[in-house]
Amino acid sequence: MGRAALAVALFLAVGAFAPAQSAAELISQAEDLLPTRYLPENLTSAIDLYERALALQPGRADFMTQLAQLHYELGIISEDVKTKRREFRRGADLGFTALGFAGLSGAEEAKAEEFAARVSESENVAALYWTAKCWGMLVDTGGLLAQLNAISTGMPAKVRALYLAAIALDETYFGGGPHEDYGALLVNFAKFHLYGATLEEAKAHFDRAIEIASGAGYLIPFVTYAEQYAVRAAESKERGCSGGLCPAARIKPNATKKIRNFTGKACPLGKGAPGPCPWRSCSRRANPRWGLGGHGAKGPRTTPGRRPAPHTAQRR
């Protein structure tokens, strides 16, 4: 009995002094899991390994960028809203840090001109892309008040700047992902008449995304085109709207102020607005979807024939 206890004590003592895993070893293990991260347990394990590696080397922008993508993917497949928002927030915070901001709060506080200038100078297309998606989904899952606050503080313009910078840097990244998601964003902007966006402009980006994806056999842009653009364009055509934008969706300059006080009893666009009011569904039970997170793909895209593998090398 005494010898057994001594053996256990020696084993624990040796384990206590065993060398810890290096960041390189942790990343190697994480990369082995990435091809099968469609399994939630593998995705979670990969995130844990990358987070541990980042703790050892806090300044690694490539670790932060990969984590932004993985946290986004975990947020998408999670069912609990609190979990979703935690993952999207962590992804956005790491993504903005990789882009040179003081995390998510630093990006939110940055003036529009400063923000646009910094992201336009970035050479990290992956960070631009995944940060835009994480931040957009964080707002989209926050409810009506979070969405209205985002609009009042100019957040959609910053998301647009991220996507445009990604397109300018590498429009082919992630199978034309920047064009695809920006097209989806423009569809939602057009619906609420934000920033002069039109369905025609959105279609141009979808067309380019499909052109890029077709060469590699990726299918997602076709689905996004159908779900986001084709359905909205058909609805507008049925209502007899010219240019794919219904008059009822043209928000007046002071509309957001009215919406804040909207109780669901009247259209905040004013009496006599033609067509169905886009704010009829505003209530505690149903909120409008701004679509700031792009098309919101359902989970990690690792199925052959749909998307390339996650980035393993990026420009710095």
Tokens of 198: 């039109």
Backbone angles phi, psi at 275, to 5 degrees: 80, 170
Tokens of 172: 């082919």
pTM of the complete model: 0.74
- For the segment 66-87, the average pLDDT, to the nearest whole number, is 97
- pLDDT of 140 reads 92
- Give the whole-angstrom CA distance, residue 175 versus residue 119: 21
- Give the whole-angstrom CA distance, residue 200 versus residue 176: 18
- For the segment 238-244, the average pLDDT, to the nearest whole number, is 51
- pLDDT of 151 reads 86
pLDDT in tens, 280-314: 332 222 233 446 655 544 455 543 333 444 443 33
pLDDT band at residue 4, thresholds of 50, 70 and 90? low
pLDDT in tens, 170-224: 999 999 999 999 999 999 888 888 888 898 999 999 999 999 998 777 777 777 7
CA-wise closest residue to 174 among 238, 110, 128: 128
**50 or 281, which is more confident?**
50
Q: What is the dihedral of CA 199, 187, 220, 86, to 10 degrees?
A: 170
Which of 1-15, 77-91, 102-116 is least confident?
1-15
219-257 burial, b at 16+ Cβ within 10 Å, e below that, comes to: bbbeebbeebbeebbeebeeeebeebbbebbbbeeebee
SS3 string, 123-158, reads CCHHHHHHHHHHHHHHHHCCHHHHHHHHHHCCHHHH
**221 or 45, which is more confident?**
45
Non-local CB neighbours of 272 within 8 Å, separated by 6+ positions: none
Is the pLDDT score of 120 beyond 90?
A: yes
